[in-house]
Amino acid sequence: MVNELYFRHKISKTNIAREMNVSRNFVTRWTQSVHQDFTIDNRGWEKGKARKWDIEIKERIKDIRLYLENDSFEFYLGATAIQQEWRRRYPDEVSPPLRTIGKYLSDLGLAQKRKIKHKGAAKYLCYPEHTIYNQLGNRVAEIDFIGKKYIHGISEPLNFIGFSFKKEPKLRYYKRIEGQTSDSFITETDKFFRLFEKPDVIKLDNGLAFIGSASGKRNISRSMHYLLKNDVIPVFAVPRKPFTQASIEGNNSVFSKKFWNRFDFKSLKEIDDKLELFNQSSQRYTGYRKPRFVSQKRNFTPKVYFIRQVKEISESKKIGAYIDILNVKVPMSKPLVNYYVLSEWNLKQETLNIYFEKDNIQNLIKKIDFKINKKSKDKFDVY
Which sequence spans correspond to the domains of the chain?
55-107, 119-291+300-383
**Cβ-contact 126, 339 below 8 angstroms:** yes
Alpha carbon distance 13, 113 (integer Å): 38
pTM (two decimals): 0.74
Q: Determine the pLDDT at residue 214.
A: 87
Q: What is the pLDDT of residue 241?
A: 75
Region of 249 (left: φ > 0; alpha: ψ -120 to 50; beta: rest) is: alpha
CATH number attached to the domain at 119-291+300-383 = 3.30.420.10
- Please enumerate in sequence order all residues whose Cβ is within 8 A of that of 381, keeping only pairs 6 or more positions apart, or say none: none
Predicted pLDDT at 274: 95
Q: Across-strand partners of 201? A: 140, 233
- Give the SS3 label for residue 168: coil
Cα–Cα nearest to 163, from 36, 312, 275, 57: 275
Looking at residue 42, what is its pLDDT? 60
3-class DSSP state of 320: coil
| pLDDT score of 58 | 84
What is the structure's pLDDT at 87? 87
- For the chain, list residues with pLDDT below 70: 40-53, 112-122, 243-248, 294-298, 315-319, 381-383
Per-residue pLDDT, 77: 82
Angle of helix 268-286 versus helix 79-89 axis, rounded to 10:
80
Can you name the residues that pair with 340 across neighbouring β-strands? Answer: 309
Measured CA to CA, the distance from residue 363 to residue 365 in angstroms comes to: 6
* Planar angle of CA 155, 158, 161, nearest 5 degrees: 170
pLDDT tens, position by position, 198-253: 999 999 999 999 999 888 999 999 999 999 999 999 999 998 777 666 666 777 88
245 closest CA partner among 161, 344, 142: 142
Angstrom distances, CA of residue 168 to CA of 15, 141, 252, 267, 291? 40, 11, 18, 35, 11
